[in-house]
Amino acid sequence: MDTSTNPLSADASDRLPDTPLTTPLVVPVIEEHAVVHREVVESGRVRLSKTVQEHEEAIDLALQHEEVNVERVPLNQYVADEAAAPAVRYEGDTLVIPVVREVVVKRLLLVEELRVTKHRVETHETQNVTLRSEQVHVERIAPDNTTSSLPNSPNQTL
């Protein structure tokens, strides 16, 4: 390259002419811009396997049931003439059921009362139940197909 004709050459004496410039000197200004592209690259894979384990466990349960006690109370009392038959009634927690029978005289004879009382009984019983739990095993597969097991922790970043 000839430096005598190039105004931007490295030699300082060649850069400035001896005669004054009548036209302005133009210096190019260069600016660079960065263009960023993203690309999805597979860095590995993850294999998950789940197993279910079962075990027997004894559980103590509190169970409730009701028992009924029936008491027969003989009365053998006549009901007043033209009165209605005694009605079923409650005396506290006891249900009283009158039992009547007609006699030849056409009078009602109160033969007996049945007294029915309920009470709750609680018993404890042990039953065997089958409980299941799941376990997940995580295995990381690198791009070169080598595998490594990861420890089981609740929050894992893969």
Distance CA 81, CA 62 (A): 53
Determine the straight-line distance between the first and last CA of the chain, rounded to whole angstroms: 59
Please tell me the predicted confidence (pLDDT) of residue 95: 92
Tell me the whole-structure pTM to 2 decimals.
Answer: 0.38
Taking residues 34-63, report their average pLDDT: 87
User: Coil, strand, or helix at residue 122?
Assistant: strand
- For the CA atoms of 9, 10, 11, 14, the dihedral, rounded to the nearest 10 degrees, stands at 20
Taking residues 24-52, report their average pLDDT: 85
pLDDT in tens, 56-100: 999 988 899 999 999 999 988 888 888 888 999 999 989 999 998
Of the pLDDT bands very low, low, confident and very high (cuts 50, 70, 90), residue 13 is low
* Lowest model confidence (mean pLDDT) among 3-12, 28-37, 141-150: 3-12
Distance CA 130, CA 135 (A): 17
